[in-house]
């Protein structure tokens, strides 16, 4: 039985843990060559896991906010695999603070990791995809890119930017057969979610219980978000572009 991403090459940022890790592993199981990009050296263990399971993966230490790092990442990917069929701009951070509470440094860092990185990598990857006849770009946005949340001004601003940047790119590059979509996860059981509790000074058990207040009564699993990414990366979504796919257990169902 053919694998969904056979003979494809996928570049995944923020792939050392959480949603990125789950997606990298799933893409590899579906036949893709996978490039693991992260600032965390545990990304090497993700690549090792894929290679030991019969897949093919490499790890590249990358600060996605730096032009030189993005250049090196794309150059190495192209050198190793000859093309880039899928770009998953997944790297992201959160700072839980209102505007008066935020430092300028935190504002700049959130916008750089969550938004600028998409610009830097897409700028380099779009020409490669266009020359090859097409490709897929997936960006990680958030439910808070569609509806605001408390004490998360920079994060909400950044993820709202991701949603509209996704739509603008879909318009610009549809004629090049490049589909561009984003995923808007709800609270998902990752290190980021646990870190939010610490940032807010909240008791972790209570914070996670509050995060589960949605129609399905629980937070998401990274593997569930990865399955949404697989759908958008595959030919199953061949007529889908410019979409913000909400995967949040119904958390936004009551929003206008």
Annotated active-site residue 155? The verdict is yes
Give the 3-state secondary structure percentages of the chain, helix then strand then coil, rounded to 5: 50, 15, 35
3-state SS, residue 189: coil
In the set 81, 144, 155, 207, the catalytic residue is: 155
Instruction: Calculate the alpha carbon distances from 30 to 55, 61, 94, 134, 231 in Å.
Output: 9, 24, 30, 19, 11
Instruction: Calculate the alpha carbon distances from 35 to 50, 132, 182, 224 in Å.
Output: 11, 18, 19, 21
H-run or E-run covering 229: helix 222-233
Contact by Cβ (8 Å): 157, 113: no
H-run or E-run covering 38: strand 33-38
The CB-based long-range contact list for 67-73 (8 Å cut-off, 24+ gap) reads: 67/120, 70/117, 70/120, 70/121, 70/124, 71/124, 73/11, 73/35, 73/37, 73/121
3-state SS, residue 177: coil
Neighbour tally for 198: CB within 10 Å:
11
**Residues labelled as active-site residues:** 155
């Amino acid at each position: 039985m053919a694998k969904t991403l056979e003979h494809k090459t996928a570049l995944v940022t923020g792939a050392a843990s959480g949603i990125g890790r789950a997606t990298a592993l799933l893409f590899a199981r579906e036949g893709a060559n996978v490039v693991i990009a992260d600032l965390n050296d545990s990304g090497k263990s993700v690549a090792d896991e894929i290679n030991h399971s019969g897949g093919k993966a490499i790890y590249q230490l990358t600060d996605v906010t730096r032009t030189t790092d993005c250049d090196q990442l794309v150059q190495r990917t192209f050198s190793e695999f000859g093309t880039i069929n899928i770009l998953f701009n997944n790297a992201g951070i959160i700072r839980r603070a209102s505007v008066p509470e935020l430092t300028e440094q935190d504002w700049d860092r959130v916008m750089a990791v969550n938004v600028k990185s998409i610009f830097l990598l897409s700028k380099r990857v779009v020409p490669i995809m266009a020359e090859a006849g097409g490709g897929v770009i997936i960006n990680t946005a958030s439910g808070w890119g569609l509806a605001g949340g408390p004490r998360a001004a920079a994060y909400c601003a950044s993820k709202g930017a991701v949603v509209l940047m996704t739509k603008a790119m879909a318009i610009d590059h549809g004629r090049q057969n490049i589909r561009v979509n984003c995923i808007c996860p709800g609270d998902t059981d990752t290190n980021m979610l646990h870190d939010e509790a610490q940032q807010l000074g909240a008791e972790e058990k209570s914070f996670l219980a509050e995060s589960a207040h949605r129609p399905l009564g629980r937070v998401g699993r990274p593997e569930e978000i990865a399955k949404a990414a697989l759908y958008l990366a595959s030919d199953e979504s061949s007529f889908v572009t410019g979409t913000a796919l909400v995967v949040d257990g119904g958390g936004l169902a009551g929003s206008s």
